[in-house]
Structure 1
Amino acid sequence: MGYYWPTMVKDCVDYARSCKPCQFHANFIHQRPEPLHPTIASWPFDSWGMDMVGPMPESAEGHIYILAATDYFSKWAEAVPLLSERKEEVAHFIKSNIIFRYGVPWCIITDDGKSFDNKQVADQ
């Protein structure tokens, strides 16, 4: 790199600790560090990841959301445009685009948004 600074990391940590605004406005993580756990899918269409994208600019038909689901094994994607992020539309998507096409998955991983974390979706 063109320079030699054997105590660079220590000096940077000391500088950050001495900076009062850095300490006052820093992001505090109150969880202990832990290794990441890989998501393992044993066979196709076993585990799905789902997320709601939006609001986005309105389409010609009035859709402002996209509901997307991706299979973890094959990376197959299913997506539909939605007018709103209602739990009924999410439940219908799970039933018609995942269960009826590929069978009942072992798990569906979401971010626990309001449209995913409810009784109607859990019953699917």
Structure 2
Amino acid sequence: DASKWVGKCEACQNFVGRPKLADLPLKPVVIDEPFQQWGLDFIGTLNPPSSAGHTHMLTATYYFTKWVEAIPVKSTTSEV
């Protein structure tokens, strides 16, 4: 019986009773002219790290053209 199996499944029980978050309305990013806005974000921790020891990626998105650059980095702190 499927309901008995789901009742014994630990991973399934982790999701029981979690409230559904309300959907938020999308807000479009309107760019009127070049170089008006960029988006920056870190991706990681990369596992395994690169052979050079990079554990994260710094991504930059140019919203005017949707161009994306990704730069491997060894740390996400401001210390060099």
Q: TM-score range by the shorter chain?
A: 0.5 to 0.7
Matched, 1:38 2:23: no
| Contact 1:64 1:81 (8 Å CA) reproduced | yes
CA distance in 1, matches of 2:24, 2:54: 40
Deviation at residue 62 of structure 1 after TM alignment: 0.7
**5+ residue gaps, structure 1:** 1-23, 90-124
Q: Which amino acid aligns with 1:37?
A: K
Paired residues, what number? 65
- RMSD after superposition: 2.4
1:61-107 superposed Cα distances (whole Å, 9 cap, x missing partner): 11111000101111122221111111346xxxxxxxxxxxxxxxxxx
List structure 1 segments (4+ residues) > 6 angstroms apart after TM superposition.
none
* 1:25-64 pair list within 5 angstroms: 25-29=17-21, 35-56=25-46, 57-64=48-55
- Greater per-residue helix proportion: 1
**5+ residue gaps, structure 2:** 1-15
Q: Which amino acid aligns with 2:31?
A: A
3-state SS of paired residue (1:60): coil
Larger Rg: 1
Taking structure 1 as the reference length, what is the TM-score of the superposition?
A: 0.44
Matched-pair identity in %: 39
